[in-house]
Amino acid sequence: MIGSCLIDHDAILRAREVGLQPSDFYSPAWGVVYEVMQELAMSLRPVDIVTVADALAARRNGDGRTILEHVGGSAILTATIEKTPTAIHVAHYAGMVRDAARQRELIRACAEITGLAYNHEGEIASLYAEAGRVFAGAVKTVGTRSHIYGSDEVLTEYLVNQQRREEDLANNPHAQVKTGLANLDAMLGDIAPGKLHAIVARSSVGKTMYCEQLAEYNAMHGHRVAYYHLEQQGQDMLDRMICRHSGVSLYELRNGYHGPEVDAAIDRTRGWFANMTYVHCPGKGADWIVADVQRLHAELGLGLVVVDYLQKVMLPETNKAGLNSAQLWGGVVETLKTCAEVTGLPMVLGSQVRKSAFGNRNEPPTAEDIRNTGELEEKANQVVILHRKNPNEGILARGSRQLLTAVVAKNTQGQTGETTIAHIAGHYTLRNWEE
């Protein structure tokens, strides 16, 4: 890999694109060689055996010897060049060095987790959290396509990828993650991999219902879903699900009813329920959620993550930088969005509007009302605002339709606008109004 960079000035850039870092080298001295080549390239100086040797000769280790001496002198650099006939495979070589470093990091993490397990005292949940943090730090995925250099190969690869997309959708029309509400999906398109989809509303309008139904719809169509609920109990989630699919009231279910409608609903859910993972995590922070997402993704191969909801995520306990509340929430949103981008998973995040937006309930919240909730309107790729059209209509008869407006306030990959949907009262169900 070093030889490739010494014979081709552009090779160092291709190695950086792969994500190779100086710390990835097993030998610290060769890591310094790579670091020196990076510095030369970034300062627009030539990267060759003369410039690299001079820079290494100017650096000394703690024992007084130069880094050039540590690697074996200019003769070693020359021998490295002689063993490298071409630099065309530099990305492959860089990937090998990077992957070996990640293997070593995983081995180190496993050893640390073993030590934590042997020496832990107290609640097992705190051990899981600490072990999850260590594991997540060891398995961070770094994108390998931060730069795309224009070439015929890139265009050919794009066409091949388009054919793959077409084949995937032909084989499975539900390969994309969607809300399941046709009119809304017509505006949104899909919830693309690595994107953050925010559902925003005042309290008791239907954020959780929207999240639950979206998660179930995609689980039905083959996507593995991790659903992080920070408020509802696990039993509540199951009760609401069976209520939705059986038509039996929540009151009856909570009183133990298990008649034929419940049996039929359970039979209908068996085909897709294995794709659901509910994680009850009250009081957990964004870092804990991210670590668990990475663990589940490595274990199960997730297709969608739902976090319900933002204001229940625990803020960091320490605030050394003296950040205000909005900045702290911004850090939470940024952490979750980065998780989506790094894992390549679509993520749905529920959020309330700011408190001042609770005044005039007759008007739907606006993008302005989302402010001070972690700048969610800026960081999310899609923002859907739910609003109850008749907020003062009181308690409706079970099974009646309640008008909701779904406003697509932001959509970086499609239309914005609004559509009318119906909440089926007492069934925890959303439908297109026409249905």
Which string of DSSP letters, residue by residue, matches 256-267?
A: T---HHHHHHHH
Residues 217 and 177 in one domain: yes
Contacts of 216 (CB under 8 A, 6+ apart): 241, 244, 272, 276
Whole-number pLDDT of residue 145: 56
Three-state DSSP class for residue 195: coil
Kindly state the tokens that stand for 410. 């932001």
319 and 227 belong to one structural domain: yes
**21-48 as b/e, with b when 16 or more CB fall inside 10 Å?**
beebbeeebbbbbbbbbbebbeeeeebb
168 & 134 share domain: no
Q: Is residue 217 part of a domain?
A: yes
Residues 207 and 308 in one domain: yes
List the CATH number of the domain containing 270: 3.40.50.300
Q: Which residue among 147, 181, 204 closes a domain?
A: 147
**Do the domain assignments include residue 279?**
yes
Note the pLDDT of residue 146: 59
Question: Are both 295 and 415 inside the same structural domain?
Answer: yes
Q: Same structural domain for residues 13 and 106?
A: yes
Q: Which residues of the chain have pLDDT under 70?
A: 140-147, 318-321, 355-362, 367, 371-374, 391-395, 435
Q: Is residue 154 one of the residues assigned to a domain?
A: no
Q: Is residue 337 part of a domain?
A: yes
Give yes or no: residues 227 and 333 share one domain: yes
Tokens coding 398: 């079970």
190 with 335, same domain: the answer is yes
400-413 burial, b at 16+ Cβ within 10 Å, e below that, comes to eebebebbbbbbee
How many structural domains are present in the chain? 2
Q: What domain range is 265 assigned to?
A: 163-432
Chain segment 365-421, per-residue pLDDT in tens: 776 777 556 578 888 999 999 998 776 666 677 888 888 999 999 999 889 999 999
pLDDT of residue 10: 76
Asked if the structure places residue 157 within a domain, the reply is no
Residue 266 lies in a domain: yes
pTM of the model: 0.71
Who contacts 285 (Cβ-Cβ below 8 Å, separation ≥6)?
313, 314, 315, 316, 332
Which pLDDT belongs to residue 221? 94
Domain check: are 218 and 72 in the same one? no
In a domain, 310, yes or no: yes
Whether 298 and 179 map to the same domain: the answer is yes
Q: For residue 8, what pLDDT is reported?
A: 82
User: What is the reported pLDDT for 211?
Assistant: 96
- Residue 156 counted as domain residue: no
> Which of 113, 147, 181 represents a domain boundary (last residue)?
147
Q: Are both 304 and 408 inside the same structural domain?
A: yes
User: By three-state DSSP, how is residue 227 classified?
Assistant: strand
Q: The domain that contains 83 carries what CATH number?
A: 1.10.860.10
Same domain? For 132 and 22 the reply is: yes
Among 147, 178, 211, residue at a domain's last position: 147
| Phi–psi pair at 278, nearest 5 degrees | -95, 130
Q: What is the DSSP letter of 366?
A: -
To the nearest 10°, report the CA torsion of 43, 45, 47, 52: -80
